Amino acid sequence: MVLLIVGASLLMPPVAGIFLLDGTVFGIPFLIFYIFAVWLALIIGAAILAKPLGRMDYRPQRNVSSDTDH
Amino acid sequence: MLSTDILLFACLGYVALLFAVAFIVDRRTRTNPMRWLQSPIVYTLSISVYCTSWTFYGAVGSAARNGLEFITIYLGPTLVFVGWWWLLRKLVRIGRAHRITSIADLISSRYGKSPSLAVLVTVIAVIATTPYIALQLQSVTRSYQVIAGEVDEVTTAFWVAAGMALFTILFGTRNLDANERHHGVVSAIALEAIVKLLALIAVGIFAVYGVSDGFGDIFADVPEEFIRGTEGVFGPRWVAITFLSATAIICLPRQFQVTVVENIKESHLTTASWLFPLYLFGMTLFIMPIAIVGTKVMPAGANPDLYVLTLPLAENRHELALLAFLGGFSSATSMVIVAAIAVSTMVSNHIVMPVALRLLPGDHPVSGDVRNLLLVSRRFSIAAILGLGFLYFQGSGGSDALAAIGLIAFVGVAQFLPSLVGGIFWRGATQKGALVGLIIGFVLWAYTFFLPSFGGELLLTQDVLKNGPWGIELLRPQALFGLAGMDPLVHAVFWSVGMNAMSFVLISSLTRPNDLERLQSTLFVDVYRSSGGGTSRTNVGTADSEDLFVLAQRILGTEPARRLFDEMAAQQGTDAGLPHATDAVIARLERELAGSIGAASAHAMVTRIAGQESVGITELIDIADETQELIETSRQLAEKSAELEHAAQQLRNANERLKALDAQKDEFLSQVSHELRTPMTSIRSFSDILVSDDNLSSDERDRFVAIIQNESLRLTRLLDELLDMSRLEAGTVSLELERIEVNQAVTGAIDAVSGMTRNKNVGVRVAPAAEGTLIRANDDRLRQVLINILSNAVKYNTAAMPTIRIVSTVKNDKVWIDIVDNGGGVTRAESSMIFEKFARGARADRDQGAGLGLPISRAIMRAMNGDLTIEFARDGTSFFRLSLGRVK
């Protein structure tokens, strides 16, 4: 949820408008560089957050009455 | 030039490879599931069915036309996966718990297994998917044309559609798997995902380093407008498309199919939450460079939608062009296959099945007939959907911009969003709200976006588009209610999704759900809490297991039905034969059937046999649980506060006692000092006289000294008594108890005071207890008490003929020694304070003792596990009673 809010605010107007700058980074226009950098940061953030949530599997119940959720 | 033969050969070879993969995996999963196939990576790759030929070819075209705007198509899904994947997780959990087969099934199931909702969603899905499929056909055809030269567009498209339909039918409808999973198709799609990613990256690297000289060279002289687009980035379109793509990743039927229905493990989603955005990242990385290089290198008038293919061709890199073609082919086929499976499932479950239910002969059921019908209808649906796509393609003649067609589909499926998200998070959402919202959204979408996209050739004429129907300007499709000057896309999103959501919320708030709806809403919204998610049912009618078995056979086929019923019978403990048609069995059956034919149809079929369903007690309890929990919590809170109140009361009481004790202590201290002060004063004054007056006679001197001695003795006695008293009260003295003969103890005490009695002429009479009555006491201390009381009785007796009576009686396990005198006794009022320290009876005068005798006596008696009390005889006279434990 944090990533959604951070990502959306960084990539949507009006905040994104701040980064409408001229110039280049490593020969890449700043705007393109900015969007891809934020994107990559979001992916890394998600990968870090995904780790601790690893075990959460759900086995569909076989028995109507006796099974309980774990 | 790449020869047509090589192209065809490569194409067919590739298709054969896909067939082989799907076939082998399908076979292997039955016998011996392959581990790696069930890995999160395959799952993530299958989600990338999101990237169609629209991405592969269209993104470059879009970048060439509108600059960076194309990237929003991928930012939306990225945001959903990195930030809102628990929405997907909830969908997956619901999907597994309720055997959901499609998005139409989910929505209808949530809103009380409503058949009409299922039909509505299916219709919208078909209409929205058709142009999308046409788009894929178009891109494959065009790319084929580019390489093979001028061939008949329609024929090519027809064969492409036919080939895809064949593949889908072969691997998408092999069986009616209980959970509608298609392992073969999924692995083929995963393979295609790799091919299209590699192809696009290969072309990208070629564009950057083969044609140009690195990124710096590419971006060196690109005008700012090319990157930002003519209308500038970060405008309303930017936001609208990001929103739409975020919606699409949830609501597109094919995305729902791969993300929810084909999901094997919930935990795969955690991997997909970052891996899928990474895949999209890789797909888009080279789009902009290819678009820039393409624009520079290709002649003016070349279709930018095909730069990915034409760029390598123009540079004479045929093998790269072939790879690019296969990449585009992959992205088109994977989308078409999954979309066809998803939509055909909806069509056959929600449109064909209900109709068939009415038409099928109910009285001559044949095993597996429904199943066969379903398979056939699914196959026909697939063919029909691809046919529709083909017709659309032929009819529209191919729109020039691929992206525009894709966006039409996006806005169409975005209509599902309010009902879907509202349905799984908002318990108050109702069937009527969802129906009205969907209809309004759908109509507005068609009116403001879908029909105008035909440019005046379908239903809406040019004139209507320009001036509104019947010349009413207010109703112009692209400036509805005077909302002019907006981008058509933003305009359509605003009206359709906005009105959809608003009416959904409004109608839901105004209507009340029926019982089944209420139950389903609780099961869906609280899917993590409920005990496994099955809707069990209580039936009004009675069901015959034989009928149920026949029904199961018709839908599942003989063998699977037999297995299911055997399992249920085993659970009931029945060795042979069919299980009893309990509510649980019926519910289980309905759920199993729902996995094949959807919740609404399964519900209808089972209801035909088992009778009308009424929401069962357990469900009501489940719903009530929520309330119950609240009540329980508040009850616990009340209990807690009562406990606190109680504790506070105890504290207050303790405080009161402490205060009283404190006051007693102060009182005691002042009394003690007072008692000490009297003898001290006289000692001091007499000693003063002795010291200062030399003229005292020796008589006087002796008298004074005697007084001082007396007072000192009294002081010492007082201090001894105080000390004794405090020791006894603190319980620090432990008295040694022994067996004593009562009568002996009494006699001893009387002997001790005999001097006094004789002096005062007091008559003592004794009524002894039975011979040999033993008590447990300390001899000396008991004697001390007896003497104390006897001497009191002697001292304060003012009667003319003073007598004392000592009566010993045995009462149960106690022995009473009553000491009665005729001295007048005490009043009841006095009796309460007679044991207080320093209290003196009314008859006592100032000099006779300090008033500690009785308190000490009582303390001694209590230390011997007995007591000393004042009792009143019937005539009102008082007497002392010593009670002690008797030894038997």
Searching chain A, which residue's CA lies closest to the CA of residue B72?
A: A11
DSSP helix, strand, coil percent of chain B (3-state; round to 5): 70, 5, 25
Closest Cβ–Cβ partner in B219, B274, B529 for A46: B274
Per-residue confidence (pLDDT) for residue A54, from 0 to 100:
47
Fold of B626-730: Helix Hairpins (1.10.287)
Per-residue confidence (pLDDT) for residue A59, from 0 to 100:
44
**Nearest-neighbour CA in chain A from B237: distance (Å):** 11
A16 chain-B contacts, CB cut-off 8 A = 233-234
Cβ–Cβ under 8 Å, residues B310 and B57: no
Query: Cβ–Cβ of A27/B214 closer than 8 Å?
Result: yes
Picking from A39, A40, A48 by the largest number of B CB atoms within 10 A of its own CB, the best residue to mutate is A39
pLDDT digits (tens, 9 = 90+) for B323-346: 888 888 888 888 888 888 888 888
Which residues of B, range 710-769, sit inside 8 Å of A by Cβ?
none
Cβ–Cβ under 8 Å, residues B556 and B176: yes
Q: Does B233 touch chain A (CB under 8 A)?
A: yes
Q: Does B235 touch chain A (CB under 8 A)?
A: yes
Query: Cβ–Cβ of B528/A31 closer than 8 Å?
Result: no
Pairing of strands B763-767, B803-811: parallel
Query: Cβ–Cβ of A11/B79 closer than 8 Å?
Result: yes
Domain ranges of chain B: 4-380, 415-527, 535-615, 626-730, 738-887
**Cα→Cα distances B676→B218, B667, B680, B791, B850, Å:** 113, 14, 6, 23, 10
B274 chain-A contacts, CB cut-off 8 A = 43-44, 46-47, 50
Per-residue confidence (pLDDT) for residue B649, from 0 to 100:
93
**Nearest-neighbour CA in chain A from B247: distance (Å):** 14
The one-letter amino acid code at B332 reads: A
Alpha carbon distance B594, B611 (integer Å): 17
A67 chain-B contacts, CB cut-off 8 A = 531-532
Q: Does B425 touch chain A (CB under 8 A)?
A: no
Pairing of strands B867-872, B878-887: antiparallel
Q: Does B224 touch chain A (CB under 8 A)?
A: yes
Searching chain B, which residue's CA lies closest to the CA of residue A34?
A: B68
Alpha carbon distance B217, B293 (integer Å): 10
Q: Do the domains at B626-730 and B738-887 have one common CATH topology?
A: no
Fold of B4-380: Amino acid/polyamine transporter I (1.20.1740)
Searching chain A, which residue's CA lies closest to the CA of residue B95?
A: A60
A54 chain-B contacts, CB cut-off 8 A = 267, 270
Secondary structure (H, E, C), B544-573: CHHHHHHHHHHHHCHHHHHHHHHHHHHHHC
Closest Cβ–Cβ partner in B85, B216, B277 for A42: B277
Identify the bridge partners of residue B809 per DSSP, sorted by sequence position: B816
The residue whose two tokens read 């699914």 is: B378
B204 chain-A contacts, CB cut-off 8 A = none
Q: Does B87 touch chain A (CB under 8 A)?
A: no
Alpha carbon distance B358, B284 (integer Å): 50
Closest Cβ–Cβ partner in A5, A29, A63 for B219: A29
Picking from A10, A30, A44, A65 by the largest number of B CB atoms within 10 A of its own CB, the best residue to mutate is A65
**Cα→Cα distances B808→B742, B858, B884, Å:** 8, 18, 11
Q: Does A57 touch chain B (CB under 8 A)?
A: yes
Cβ–Cβ under 8 Å, residues B328 and B228: no
DSSP letters, B64-92, are: HHHGGGGGHHHHHHHHHHHH-HHHHHHHH
The residue whose two tokens read 């073969």 is: B184
ipTM tops the 0.85 cut: no
B227 chain-A contacts, CB cut-off 8 A = 29, 31-32
Query: Cβ–Cβ of B222/A29 closer than 8 Å?
Result: yes
B526 chain-A contacts, CB cut-off 8 A = none
Q: Does B795 touch chain A (CB under 8 A)?
A: no
DSSP A61: P
Closest CA to B244 of B496, B505, B520: B496
Cβ–Cβ under 8 Å, residues B249 and B416: no
Distance of CA B788 to the CA centre of its chain: 77
B233 chain-A contacts, CB cut-off 8 A = 16, 20, 31
Q: Which residues contact B20 (CB under 8 A, 6 or more apart)?
A: none
pLDDT digits (tens, 9 = 90+) for B540-576: 455 677 777 777 777 777 777 788 888 887 777 766 6
Q: Which residues contact B600 (CB under 8 A, 6 or more apart)?
A: B105, B108, B109, B113, B114, B115, B118, B349, B350, B354
Picking from B79, B231, B523 by the largest number of A CB atoms within 10 A of its own CB, the best residue to mutate is B79
pLDDT digits (tens, 9 = 90+) for B61-116: 888 888 888 888 898 899 888 888 778 888 888 888 888 888 888 888 888 888 88
Cβ–Cβ under 8 Å, residues B153 and B321: no
Query: Cβ–Cβ of A3/B83 closer than 8 Å?
Result: yes
Query: Cβ–Cβ of B271/A50 closer than 8 Å?
Result: yes
Cβ–Cβ under 8 Å, residues B257 and B101: no
Query: Cβ–Cβ of B78/A57 closer than 8 Å?
Result: no
Searching chain B, which residue's CA lies closest to the CA of residue A53?
A: B270
Closest CA to B77 of B106, B55, B62: B55
Residue A63 banded pLDDT, cuts 50, 70, 90 = very low
Per-residue confidence (pLDDT) for residue B157, from 0 to 100:
80
Which residues of A, range 33-52, sit inside 8 Å of B by Cβ?
35-36, 39-40, 42-47, 49-50
Query: Cβ–Cβ of B531/A68 closer than 8 Å?
Result: yes
Query: Cβ–Cβ of A69/B532 closer than 8 Å?
Result: yes
Cβ–Cβ under 8 Å, residues B256 and B102: yes
Query: Cβ–Cβ of B228/A31 closer than 8 Å?
Result: yes
**Nearest-neighbour CA in chain B from A50: distance (Å):** 5
Per-residue confidence (pLDDT) for residue A64, from 0 to 100:
36
Query: Cβ–Cβ of B267/A1 closer than 8 Å?
Result: no
**Cα→Cα distances B535→B114, B588, B590, B603, Å:** 15, 8, 9, 11
Query: Cβ–Cβ of B239/A13 closer than 8 Å?
Result: yes
Omega before A14 within 30 of 0, i.e. cis: yes
pLDDT digits (tens, 9 = 90+) for A26-59: 777 778 888 888 888 888 888 888 766 544 444 4
- For the residues A1-21, what does the mean pLDDT come to? 73
Picking from B69, B78, B585 by the largest number of A CB atoms within 10 A of its own CB, the best residue to mutate is B78
**Cα→Cα distances B402→B138, B149, B180, Å:** 9, 21, 31
B265 chain-A contacts, CB cut-off 8 A = 57
Q: Which residues contact B369 (CB under 8 A, 6 or more apart)?
A: B360, B554
DSSP letters, B821-880, are: ESS----HHHHTTTTSTT---TT--TTS--S-HHHHHHHHHHHTT-EEEEEE-TTS-EEE
Q: Does B266 touch chain A (CB under 8 A)?
A: yes
**Nearest-neighbour CA in chain B from A8: distance (Å):** 7
Searching chain B, which residue's CA lies closest to the CA of residue A65?
A: B584
Domain ranges of chain A: 2-51
B531 chain-A contacts, CB cut-off 8 A = 67-69
Specify the CATH number of the domain B738-887: 3.30.565.10
Picking from A10, A64, A70 by the largest number of B CB atoms within 10 A of its own CB, the best residue to mutate is A64
List of chain B residues with pLDDT < 50: 178, 531-536, 538, 540, 846-847
Closest CA to B103 of B286, B339, B284: B339
pLDDT at A60 over 50: no
CB-based burial label for B417 (10 Å; 0-12, 13-18, 19+):
buried
